[in-house]
Each structure stands twice: as structure tokens, then as C-alpha cells.
Structure 1
Amino acid sequence: MKASVFYGKDDIRFEEVDKPEIGTNELLIQMKTCGLCGTDIHKVLEESVPSGSVLGHEYAGEVIAVGEEVSDFALGDRVTGGIHVPCFTCEQCSRGHYTLCPEFKKTNIDPGGFAEYVRIPEEHVKDLLYKIPEGMSYAEASLTEPVACCIHGQKAVDIHAGDSVLVMGAGPIGLIHSQLLKNKLVKEVVVTDVSDHRLNNAYDFGADATINTAEHDLETYLQEQNHPGFNIVIIAAGVSALLSQAMNVLKRGGTVVCFSPFGVKPNVEIDASMFFRDEKSIVGTYSVSPYEFEEAILAIQQGVIDSEALITHQMPLSDLGEAIALTQDKTENVLKIVLENK
């Protein structure tokens, strides 16, 4: 079979790899679509994964082989799911911290989603695989994992109808957050970014206002607009400096959600007195548990997520390198790229 294999940031090869064989409790799917995630892009550009890796985890496909002990899935089923499964029994799982389970990162699909065929291990078949509803395209279904991640992130904080929420970052993740927030009847969603391309899109995804922070100092601009601040701030861009900004524009009693990883210069200075004086909070959220996928499928199916507008590019699986390069072109209006196995 063919797969797009990472060898270096400028060396992604569409080449022959071994087709996986399945066990009695496993499935083999033909990958139909796989979304290009920001984490895939960072892993490639930062060369933080081993040479020879096959990335991709936002997959949707068709079951083409079924292990003899599998009873819940059949040939021809259209499915989607995630890549990591918790054990459900350890201390972290018993406290609801499924993504912190020691077994979580030890589980994975084989290989990644940027391949023609993918083996779905027993744990995934049992707890992390979902049938795609009739009428939903494979491209739409590939959004299930990122939407589920955003649902998981928003569960980390109490969001009330009437809240004012700031989303920092107008990429695909920020825009998914915006749409989910508007569905919760929050009073206001403000989106910030440094790209006019992305900010212009934000109004179509639930934003009531946008601020280009390359042109305006966020705190000064809000003061000039007599804006009282935000109940919730969701950081949907991997820029550590945003954390101190988020705390400074947060209302008393508010919470910052750190959704994106801070990979570069993660140390920031924060006025620690705000935790006591203003009862401000910071919560972190990582990945997604199995419990958000059905919610994500419903959000896509019921139009809470405008998948047609979010997916701006569909490209062949062989064009992974070109797709990543396209995301770095600031002159292009790129939101979500989905790779197709045709």
C-alpha cells in the first residue's frame, strides 16, 4: 500500500509501505479522508517525530476486513474515531482524567491516517470507533476528532449562557470553538489573531467581533472600547505569551483554558496575586476522551459545525508535503485541509 511518510520537513515521500495485518479482534479500514491537524504540521516543521513516521489521526474510512471475534462492525461500515484509548480503571481514569492515563499514549492506530489502509486495534474497536451517520460525507466525518477535542476542552470550564468569551486564535480549532460557544448561547464571542485572512472568516463561524493583535495591543484596545473583559478565555494558538495577556483581560472570577500546546519559550510571567485577589483560574486541557466523539458527530450532523465552510481544501493523499506548505502561505485563505485517498 502507499502512505505519505515523513523523513524530514522538506522530505515527505508517497511510497510503498507494508499493509497491516489484523488480529481476531481488529479491523482494517480503507482510509477515505484524513484531516491535516496543526499538531501534524508542527511535528513535520519541527522534525519532532522519528524519520519514517506516518502521521495523521483525523481519519474516516470504510471497513474492508473484520477480525473473526468482532461483532459490532461489518464489511462496508463507514467509521471514524480517535488514536488514543485510556484503560478506564487507573487512578487518573477513576478521576475522569482519561487523557492522563498511563496507557493513553501507548495505544495508537497502525500506521497513522496518512496511509491507504489502517489497522484498528482491539482497544479502539471496543471503545473508540464510531459509525458515520448516513448522509454525512467522509470529509465531514474527518472533522469528528478535532470537534471532539474542542468539546473536551470546553468541558474543562463552566460556560454559562450570557458569558463573554475570548478565543485567541482564528485557525480551524479557534473557529470550531467559536461555533460550539455560540451554540451554548454565550452573549459574546471575540476572536483574536494576527491574520486578516483568518479574522475575516471568523464572522462566519460565530464571532461577534475580531481584533487583529498585530495591529492593536489587546489590553489597550479593550480599554479604549470600554470593554469590561471576559468570563472565559480559550487559548487556541500555541503561543505562550498569550497566557499573560489572557489573564490580564479576564474578569474577576474568570477562567483561562489552555487548549493549545506551548512548545516554544513556554515560560511566562503572571501576576500571581490575581489568583487570590481576583479568584482567576487557569485550566489545561489535552487531547480528547472517548466520551466526546458522539457529541462531535451530532454537532457536525446537526449543523452546529459548518463543515462545508471550514474545509477549504481537499487534496490527494500524495500531496501531504504540498498541503503543509500551503498552510504556511500567508497569502492563501487556508482553513481546514483534508487529504483524500482516491
Structure 2
Amino acid sequence: MSNPAEIPQTMQAVICHGPENYTLEEVPVPTPGPGEALVKVDAVGICASDLKCYHGAAKFWGDDSRPAWAETEVIPGHEFAGTVVQLDDLAAEKWKVGVGDRVVSEQIVPCWKCRYCLRGQYWMCGPHDLYGFKRRTPGAMAEYMIYNVDALVHKVPNEIPAHHAAFAEPLSCSLHAVERANIGFDDVVVVAGCGPIGLGMVAGAKSKNPAKVVALDMAPHKLEIAKECGADVVINIAEEDADKIVKDLTDGYGADVYLEGTGHPAAVPQGLKLLRKLGTYVEYGVFRDDVTVDWSIISDDKELDVLGAHLGPHCWPAAIRLIESGALPMDKICTHQLPLAEFQKGLDLVGDGTSSIKVSLIP
């Protein structure tokens, strides 16, 4: 346990007051309870879901059809890395970490009591407390944060740059989507989107050693990075006929697996079209708008397996190893690091989407 006298009493933090109403404020440094850790935030990434929340599409106050999953008066930020500055013996023993260690925490804080948690399906926990979305679990757009007593915590080598270590969160999500697809050696796998999630999907799919990994995007520089992540074929969908190219690669049948990581409504019917009969569609994108498709393609026409994917359960150690291995062009993926005070610029960069891939704040 560190010397509490060395820890300041106040810190800078971004506070969500509602849609498009985020402010940088001076707030008290939180105090860890039994079995918790106080962590100095080294880096926090900005995710598409952070942007969705910022613009008010997160159903802050809920509606009759779907409960709210984001609350106001909370510190955002759910993909992060930090350094332990204070913890008790219970936390140290539970997580096998100590003061000075660089650590990440999975974005969900399970209750460990609901039906899903008791069945080992903690990533679908009923209460679903996520860092940065609920007041019970403040996030990482701050100088310090608490790793909750119920959290899943992983140690990261200190030599990994902080903004690279924070990428373990989106990368674990990508790897979970890949696992959901059950990729085989003879499969042609198509990945839609070469943003943070899509590039991780490319790398994860390539590690399964399928026949081909095909990456789709409209940005030439992102497609070049996809090649470095393992894509065998890249297709600029603004200039090339993806359907024809994929059909040519597969003797006219279509792709075996389609992984959707863009969150763009047009990517859904695109995937249904590109897949062969009895193919597998995995959805990971964060959509801001409702998506409508012809479901007869899924049933009568092709009998597709359509799967969802959520968070990155059981994939964090693999994501950390992949980052540590140096196999990914992390400096090209982590394009922007900004001070915490420039959080608005960071949100705008993510919203624009043309000049950045992964934007991180460095408190």
C-alpha cells in the first residue's frame, strides 16, 4: 500500500452532464474501499460507444422499450491502462498485483450473483455495470480511478506504452468476435471496417489460419494497415466491386464468415450479400441508427448463422500477449494521443473518422 500523503486530494476529470454536455472539472480523488485499488490513469481510449453516448443516443433516461445504459454525472471512459498507487492486501492477493504495476481492468464489473454470472457468463451480467457509464463504476477520463472490488484485472508489462496497453480493451472485443465465428482452416473470412475493432478482427482472424482474410474499407491508408495486421486481400468498397471479388475468390459461392465492425447500417446488407449459403455472420458494430434488412436472406435464401458479440470475455490475456508480441503496427493504429483537457477534440476526431483510428487521452 502506498503512502496516502503522496496522493493529491483533487484531480481533473471529465464529467458527463447529459448529451453533448461534458465538462472538465476539479473533483475529489476517489478513495478505494476494501478489496479495491486506486489507479493513476495512464491512458484512456475514446470508443465509438463513448461518442454514441456523448451525442445522446445512449438512452440516458431510458424509454419503454429499452432501459438506460448510460447515466449522467458520471466520468466516462471504459478502455484504459493505469498504474496502481494504492491497494490493500485483499486486492493485492486477488489480482496478484502491487503498487507500481501497470494494470488494465475489463470494462464490465460483474455482480457475480445473477443468473449469467453464476453460469460463468459474466460478460452478460444482469446489472451490467460498465466503467464510464454508471455512477457505481466511474470511468477513466480522469487522473485517478478506482478498480472495483468485483472487477477483473490484468497486469500489463510496464514497458508497453500506456496508449498501447489501453488498446487491450478494443482488441479483446475483436478477438471475442473472432471466437464467435468458429473460423475453419478452409474459410474465406471477410472483415468489414478497418477501424480499431476491424483491424483487431483482421489480426485475430489471421491467427486462426483460414484460407483468406479479406478486409473492406473506404480509406486507402486503413486498408494498408489492414495488410500489416494480416489481411491477404483488401478491397476499397468505394472503388471496387466487393461482391465480384469475393465471389471470384470462392468459386462463385461467397464468403464463409463475415465479421461486421463498422457500425454502419449499409454494412449489414453488404454482409448478407457477400456470404455463401450456410455462412456465418458476426455482428460487433455499435449502431447509432436502427438497421432494417430482408430477413428472408437469413432464412429462406441462405440459412445463415447470425451471431452477436459483446465485450471481450476471456480474451484479455490473449489481447495483451498480441500487443506485447509486436505483431501489430500499434503506432499506426494508435494515431492520436491528447491531453485530458482536449477531450472535446478527441471526441470530434473519433466522430470525423477520416484522420484517426484510435484516439487516446493522456491524463
| TM-score interval (norm. to shorter) | 0.7 to 0.9
What amino acid maps onto 1:338 in structure 2? Answer: S
What amino acid maps onto 2:267 in structure 1? Answer: L
1:323 — aligned with what?
346
1:114 matched to 2:141? The reply is: yes
What amino acid maps onto 2:331 in structure 1? Answer: E
Question: Is the CA contact (8 Å cut-off) linking 1:36 and 1:337 kept in structure 2?
Answer: yes
What is the TM-score when the length of structure 1 is the normalising length?
A: 0.88
Any unmatched runs of 5+ in structure 1?
Answer: none
CA shift for structure 1 position 194: 3.0
Question: Is the CA contact (8 Å cut-off) linking 1:161 and 1:187 kept in structure 2?
Answer: yes
SS of the residue corresponding to residue 219 of structure 1 reads helix
2:331 — aligned with what?
308
Q: Give a deviation string over 1:94-152, Cα, whole Å, max 9, x none.
A: 5554322213337767421101110111111xxx1111124322222111111111122
Taking the aligned partners of 1:175 and 1:113, their CA distance within structure 2 comes to 24
1:340 — aligned with what?
362
Alpha-carbon spacing, 1:19–1:339, altered in 2? closer, same or farther (3 Å)? same
Q: Which residue of 20, 27, 33 maps to 1:23? A: 33
1:198-209, aligned counterparts within 5 Å? Answer: 198-209=222-233
Q: Give a deviation string over 1:7-34, Cα, whole Å, max 9, x none.
A: 4665432221222111121111110111
Question: Is the CA contact (8 Å cut-off) linking 1:300 and 1:306 kept in structure 2?
Answer: no
1:65 matched to 2:92? The reply is: no
Q: Give a deviation string over 1:188-246, Cα, whole Å, max 9, x none.
A: 11112233343343222222222233344543554577654211100001123322221
Give the % identical residues: 29
What is the TM-score when the length of structure 2 is the normalising length?
A: 0.83
1:108-257, aligned counterparts within 5 Å? Answer: 110-124=137-151, 128-216=152-240, 218-220=242-244, 222-223=246-247, 228-257=253-282
Taking the aligned partners of 1:211 and 1:227, their CA distance within structure 2 comes to 17
Any unmatched runs of 5+ in structure 2?
Answer: 1-10, 61-70
SS of the residue corresponding to residue 260 of structure 1 reads coil
Q: Which residue of 125, 129, 139 maps to 1:105? A: 129
SS of the residue corresponding to residue 80 of structure 1 reads strand
Taking the aligned partners of 2:222 and 2:319, their CA distance within structure 1 comes to 23
Taking the aligned partners of 1:37 and 1:276, their CA distance within structure 2 comes to 36
What amino acid maps onto 2:236 in structure 1? Answer: N
Q: Which residue of 288, 302, 306 maps to 1:282? A: 306
Moved more, 175-184 or 194-203: 194-203
Taking the aligned partners of 1:191 and 1:106, their CA distance within structure 2 comes to 30
Taking the aligned partners of 2:57 and 2:281, their CA distance within structure 1 comes to 30
CA shift for structure 1 position 250: 0.9
Taking the aligned partners of 2:113 and 2:36, their CA distance within structure 1 comes to 22
Q: Give a deviation string over 1:52-111, Cα, whole Å, max 9, x none.
A: 332111111111111354332322222111231334564434555432221333776742
CA shift for structure 1 position 276: 5.7
Taking the aligned partners of 1:10 and 1:262, their CA distance within structure 2 comes to 18
1:36-55, aligned counterparts within 5 Å? Answer: 36-46=46-56, 48=58, 49=60, 50-55=71-76
